[in-house]
Amino acid sequence: MKYPHCLLLLMVICLGPLVSSAQQVGFTTENDAYLLQLKDAYYTNGIFLHYGFANQSKKGAKRVHRFVLGQQIFTPLIRNTRTPADIDRPYAGYLFLQYSQSRFKEDKSVLQWSGTLGLIGPASGGADLQNTYHRWLNYAPFLGWRYQVNNQLVLNSSVLYAHDIFRAKQFKWMGWGAAQLGTGFTNAAIGSTLVWGQFNPNQSSQLWQAAVEQKGQPAKEFYIYWQPSITLQGYNATISGGTKTAGDSAVTLTPKTLVFQNKIGLAYSAGRWSTQFEYVQQSRETTIQLNRHRYLGIQLQYRIN
């Protein structure tokens, strides 16, 4: 992924004068190495730069617009890949730009939709990025990138709807459903989110990347959350994507129909700054994947107004 900071800065410069003064910039990094478990596999690295702003609809409801430039890297369990038999989760890189919009109604429901343009395969630069930072950190390289999935253009759309089931002063329980459709991913998911601590209403909460206001700063937040979910996979291009031709070395596999995931997080937001730590447990993604997977995500955001 070349010049990501320049692309994000360009978005801020171009969009900043056109929107309200309620803006937010930040980044997220995800990696299994952060858990200090001496393992490096499956969803092995993700880095995301994001820019968002908020405004009001004609009916007065708050809308949060968000742009994300991201790159994700996937590898099998066995680092010293010698043959296709060593691959229990395909090698893949995924580079994308996503726009999403979240709408909040009466503080009880959230409607979010997004559109994504991306590349999966060698053109995503995943192999080059991983080899570069492994060399910088003196980590052993993965030896099977010649087997990575072939190039595929990603044109995807998604929608998510969430609604409060129960809410008290320091506890909230939400249920949600989501779906994706496109050339990269086709799936449907249901889950719930349980929040405990000091949190703001949905339209001003870091939980929904909405802790940005046109006037002043949102109230302080400090909470933990648990988000269990189940996903019905129809298609995943990082597992079975890319056009395969005769003599092609690319290795693709069959995705598991059901994938279970648990997210446990800690979030803090005060003044202009927000930070979040998220621990993720995920079941096997392919029918021959040897292990389940765990990784940690770290997010930092800064508000501009």
pLDDT value of position 28: 98
**Domain range spanning residue 14?**
4-304
Which of 19-33, 137-151, 192-206 has the highest average model confidence (pLDDT)? 192-206
Spell out a b/e string for 247-263, using b for 16 or more CB atoms within 10 Å of the CB, else e.
Answer: eeebbbbebbeebebeb
Token pair of 242 as six digits: 């890319």
- 127: domain CATH number is 2.40.128.140
> Cα(277)–Cα(300) distance, rounded to whole angstroms?
9
Asked if residue 49 has pLDDT above 90, the reply is: yes
Q: What percentage of the chain has pLDDT greater than the value 90?
A: 75
> Cα(9)–Cα(11) distance, rounded to whole angstroms?
5
> Which single residue is written with the structure tokens 């726009």?
99
pLDDT band at 298 (very low <50, low <70, confident <90, very high): very high
pLDDT value of position 18: 47
Stretch 122-147: mean pLDDT: 89
3-state SS track over 232-290: EEEEEHHHHCCCCCCCCCCCCCCECCEEEEEEEEEEEEECCEEEEEEEEEECCCECCCC
Cα 263 to its chain centre, rounded Å, is 12
Neighbours of 118 (CB within 10 A): 24
Residue 70 contacts residue 134 (beta carbons within 8 Å): no
Stretch 231-254: mean pLDDT: 85
Token pair of 158 as six digits: 């998604």
273-282 vs 293-304, strand pairing mode? antiparallel
Stretch 179-184: mean pLDDT: 97
Q: How many residues does the chain have?
A: 305
> Cα(24)–Cα(152) distance, rounded to whole angstroms?
31
Neighbours of 137 (CB within 10 A): 8
Cα 135 to its chain centre, rounded Å, is 25
pLDDT, tens only, 69-92: 999 999 999 999 999 999 999 999
DSSP string over 198-231 = E---GGG-GGGT----SSS-PPPEEEEEEEEEEE
Stretch 220-231: mean pLDDT: 98
Give me the number of domains the chain comprises: 1
- What is residue 61's DSSP assignment? -
pLDDT, tens only, 140-180: 888 999 999 999 999 999 999 999 999 999 999 999 999 99
Helix, strand or coil, per DSSP, at residue 196: strand
Helix, strand or coil, per DSSP, at residue 35: helix
> Cα(4)–Cα(125) distance, rounded to whole angstroms?
12
Residue 297 contacts residue 280 (beta carbons within 8 Å): yes
> Cα(171)–Cα(33) distance, rounded to whole angstroms?
32
